[in-house]
Structure 1
Amino acid sequence: MITSCDEAVARLRAVPGLSCCSRPLLMLPLLRTGCLSAVVSVEGADAGWAGGLGAAFHALEPQRSVRDRTGTGTGVHEVLRRTAAAGGAAAGAWRGRELALLPYAGVRPAWRAALEALGARVVEPPRLALPVLGDKRAQRAWLRSVGAVTPPDAVVPALDHRELRRRFGDRYVVQTPTGSSGVGTHLVTGQDGLLPALRAGAGPWLVSGYVEGPALNVHVLVSADSTVRVLRPSVQLTRVEGVGAPFGTYSGCDFAAPARLSQPAVARAATVARRVGEALAALGYRGLFGADFVLDGERPLLLELNCRMQGSTWLLGELELAEHALPSALRHVLEVYGHATGGEARTDAADAVQLVVRHTGGPVRVAAAPVGGLHRLKDGRLAYCGTGFGLLECGPDDCVLLQLPSPGMVLEPGVPLGRIVARYPLTGPDGTVLTVAGRRLVEALRAGFVLEPLPQVPSEPLSEPLSEPLSEPVALPGPRTGAGPDRAAAPW
């Protein structure tokens, strides 16, 4: 059993690591510990990352000079396709290399084929013969079958506003079967509110009653020996006014805010998350998952699971590294490869916040942008203070700016303009209203950009979008007893 960060890093460094993800930020704990040799992503790495974190970064965004809504699957495949098409030294750098996939989420078959075409030998985690919680409709029913309380819902083949309003009230939520970070989730308050859901894809849809309350996320780790550990919770920032995000869109998290909520409700959410983890362990699941709750007074209602690392996992890892603990991101990778990790994780509140600010308005070209890294607010402006990759560089009065587009880049509406990381609250306890400090930082960030309007985004077409899902969603059986599924031997 691996119990220390040194042991984990030694094991993971035995084979050069490769990650495929939407943005390198998500893999920061693995990058800080030298466990990744290469990252293939949609968004590019922040300034200074290539030299400061010792990895090679291959990204679509810098190649196209466009930040749009290209999905992870299509974006990663496009990077690999372009590399192969370019040939020469860029393609040759992959040939003959052995790389271990250190996954943020699942692995797409197209990625595997593209890497093999480049001549790389890819080591993957054992593929488990277990159902995947990929369909929100099947997932909600399964959650109730293991004792979780969820909002009232229905799976409907057609969206009839009159009937749905009669059943769920004046406000209700419509979701497509798949989607993450708020994609495919729509708050409906009138007939016209159904149009985005209809454009997003065909049904049947999951329709839920709207519940007003703080959004709480609980990290859980399911170990290779079936031990279930509940980790630190965070308040999800999903309805923040003033940051340019529509309903349901992930806008960050706050690991200190749960201490300012109802403690009985937070404790009950942790209990439910553990129960769900035990049910997943019985099915053979290993690694991290996140449980998203909405707190209805003292009652936590479970909305859905994210069976992967999450957008908040990297920030949790920053806290764990500061405490000299084994980061959950490393534990996740080790667990999916079949290596059990030990040690109890802390669950107390901690000062760590991230807030995503999005571009509003039409297509623009970035004429000038703030410099990424460590900043401090002075006289209403952001003053650069030095290099900063994340929370570890932040003092109590500092912030780190990440995910900034570079000058010359084209931005489509709604894409991230930047991410603010700090050790002090940027929103109120429920994660919906900016604090005075949060509002000043958002205003200063926006003021640091010069954006030139464009009539349309002159982006080049991508290759054929990937049609296969991240994993095949299937109906979930109830928990089974006995040992977990047979596993292949760990590759290192």
Structure 2
Amino acid sequence: MTTIVTRVGPAGLPLDRGLALLREHTPHICWFARSMFLCAGCDVLPGLRFQPENADDLPTAGAPPVVLGFRAGPAMHQWAQRNNATLAMPAAELTRHAGDKTQLPALAATASVAVPRAVIARQVDERAADALWRELGAPAAVAQLAENDLTGTGTRLITGVAELVACLREWAGRDVKLAEYVDGTPLTVSGVVLSHTVAVSGISYQLVGHPRLTPVWGAHCGNQLLPESALPQSVAAASYEACRRIGEVLRESGFRGMFGLDMLATGSGVVVLEINPRVQSVTSLRNAADLAAGMLPAPALQALAFTTTQPFALAPIHLPSPAYGQLVMYAHTNGRVTTLPATGTYELDQGCTRIGPAAPLGSLPAHHALVWPMATAGTDVQGTDPLYVLQIPIPVADPSGALTPEAVRWLAALEYFTRIERSDR
């Protein structure tokens, strides 16, 4: 595997210049989603409003809006048509191809970035397990469905042929990547593909499969933003360069908008594990960090990517990243949600108290947090479903993945607001 050592750093569009471009090209931005979680902190954007995906259309005035969100599903497409809006989302086929786990080795080879050794199996059959295991020739492996998503249920740790047989039996007829298991520190780096370049954002530690938060080995459990100085210089440089290179390959394919890479830091370099061709959970933290650095947040860059081909210069982000962190709490059990923390700002006291609506993360004082529910009271969930996201303006975890004492206190306090009636399904 080739180690990338080219020196490159995070860069963005200065806020004043970005706001001027938005006023010129994108006067009205509509965030179409279940909540404002992934676009949190972007109130500074002119004409930004939230359109709940399950609510009646809010009235639009003036120029037709630009609409974007987590996924461009049928509801978003229909809303865009009804409101004559510009759909600022990459084409479904481009997104599917970039996010297909079985396509990663070929895409990474084009970008000249390192990935774990892997074998690809189409329409798998459990009878192929022994041959696949011998072909990979690794002591441990990670099996992934082509379409695996954030819940991590399509990712399995495999330590022998018997486990692979059971996995392929469950996934019979589907496309699977079997990759060598690589040990390292999980990282995420984010970017935005523009018409003329790639904006590379900061790096975060990623929590994966934490047993306090999820029952799933490969599930995303949270992020901890970190300054570049927290990593060896070669690892930071390799992370940024991998993001830029893969972003350029995506740009040449016609892809535009936000994306992210899941990686492992291994010694002096990185290996790329996944491409996430969409807004990431960590974008919510990055919005606050980019605004603190005087830069336009990523959702606004995506809006510009679809409304102007005018080249604009990016500037280095010199300020160290704030130590913002977030945790994703999963249900752990099947059942019906009866109570759940409401969206808002909370204060940690004897327990925790909701003191108002969600405020900018960077403005929160000590012992305050934001909570974003991912489920709804009265609905059924499985143990692998996320319940809520907790965000605090201080670290939630250290590089080993251990939760900080403050994070543990918050999780314990929020249990008071969370109830699930268990079922046997």
Report the TM-score when normalising by structure 1: 0.71
Answer whether contact 2:334 2:422 (CA < 8 A) is retained: yes
Alignment partner of 1:350 is 2:322: yes
Alignment partner of 1:143 is 2:108: yes
Instruction: Quote the Cα distance in structure 1 between the aligned partners of 2:89 and 2:416.
Output: 48
Please give the residue correspondences for 1:89-104 in structure 2 after superposition, counting only pairs within 5 Å.
90=56, 99-104=64-69
Alignment partner of 1:7 is 2:20: yes
Q: Give 1:126 shift.
A: 9.1
Moved more, 405-414 or 259-268: 405-414
Distance 1:194 1:246, change over 3 A: farther
Q: Give 1:427 shift.
A: 1.4
Structure 2 equivalent of residue 206 of structure 1: 177
Answer whether contact 2:88 2:302 (CA < 8 A) is retained: no
Answer whether contact 1:8 1:330 (CA < 8 A) is retained: no
Distance 1:180 1:454, change over 3 A: closer
SS for the counterpart of 1:251 is strand
Answer whether contact 2:198 2:244 (CA < 8 A) is retained: yes
Distance 1:346 1:195, change over 3 A: farther
Structure 2 equivalent of residue 327 of structure 1: 297
Structure 2 equivalent of residue 449 of structure 1: 418
Structure 2 equivalent of residue 63 of structure 1: none
Instruction: Quote the Cα distance in structure 1 between the aligned partners of 2:188 and 2:209.
Output: 14
Structure 2 equivalent of residue 153 of structure 1: 118
Instruction: Quote the Cα distance in structure 1 between the aligned partners of 2:344 and 2:76.
Output: 31
Please give the residue correspondences for 1:428-443 in structure 2 after superposition, counting only pairs within 5 Å.
428-430=398-400, 432-443=401-412
Q: Give 1:147 shift.
A: 1.1
- Once the two structures are superposed, residues 194-247 of structure 1 have per-residue CA deviations (whole angstroms, 9 ceiling, x without a partner) of 5456545633311101112111111223332x2333221111221323112412
Moved more, 99-108 or 226-235: 99-108
Please give the residue correspondences for 1:54-453 in structure 2 after superposition, counting only pairs within 5 Å.
58=54, 90=56, 99-104=64-69, 107-108=72-73, 111-113=76-78, 116=81, 119-125=82-88, 132-157=97-122, 158=124, 159=126, 160-166=128-134, 167-181=136-150, 182-190=152-160, 191-192=162-163, 195=166, 198-199=169-170, 202-224=173-195, 226-256=196-226, 259-339=229-309, 340-346=311-317, 348-366=320-338, 368-379=339-350, 381-403=351-373, 405=375, 407-430=377-400, 432-453=401-422
Alignment partner of 1:33 is 2:9: no
Q: Identity of paired residues, percent?
A: 20
- Once the two structures are superposed, residues 459-482 of structure 1 have per-residue CA deviations (whole angstroms, 9 ceiling, x without a partner) of xxxxxxxxxxxxxxxxxxxxxxxx
Letter in 1 for 2:324: A
Structure 2 equivalent of residue 476 of structure 1: none
Letter in 2 for 1:378: D
Instruction: Quote the Cα distance in structure 1 between the aligned partners of 2:144 and 2:92.
Output: 27
Letter in 2 for 1:216: L
Answer whether contact 1:18 1:36 (CA < 8 A) is retained: yes
Q: Give 1:341 shift.
A: 4.4
SS for the counterpart of 2:295 is coil
SS for the counterpart of 1:326 is coil
Answer whether contact 1:174 1:197 (CA < 8 A) is retained: no
Please give the residue correspondences for 1:454-469 in structure 2 after superposition, counting only pairs within 5 Å.
454=423
Q: Give 1:442 shift.
A: 1.7
Instruction: Quote the Cα distance in structure 2 between the aligned partners of 1:193 and 1:257.
Output: 39
Answer whether contact 2:99 2:275 (CA < 8 A) is retained: no
SS for the counterpart of 2:204 is strand
Q: Give 1:355 shift.
A: 0.7
Instruction: Quote the Cα distance in structure 2 between the aligned partners of 1:323 and 1:412.
Output: 39
Q: Give 1:382 shift.
A: 1.9
Instruction: Quote the Cα distance in structure 2 between the aligned partners of 1:356 and 1:317.
Output: 18
Instruction: Quote the Cα distance in structure 2 between the aligned partners of 1:397 and 1:365.
Output: 27
- RMSD (Å) for aligned C-alpha atoms: 3.4
Give 5+ residue unaligned stretches, structure 2.
Answer: 1-12
Instruction: Quote the Cα distance in structure 2 between the aligned partners of 1:312 and 1:20.
Output: 18
Instruction: Quote the Cα distance in structure 1 between the aligned partners of 2:402 and 2:379.
Output: 30
Report the TM-score when normalising by structure 2: 0.81
Structure number with the higher strand fraction is 2
Structure 2 equivalent of residue 84 of structure 1: none
Letter in 2 for 1:6: L
Instruction: Quote the Cα distance in structure 2 between the aligned partners of 1:352 and 1:163.
Output: 45
SS for the counterpart of 2:420 is strand
- Once the two structures are superposed, residues 81-120 of structure 1 have per-residue CA deviations (whole angstroms, 9 ceiling, x without a partner) of xxxxxxxxx57x679997534323563467435764xx44
Answer whether contact 2:89 2:256 (CA < 8 A) is retained: no
Q: Give 1:332 shift.
A: 1.6
Distance 1:31 1:200, change over 3 A: farther
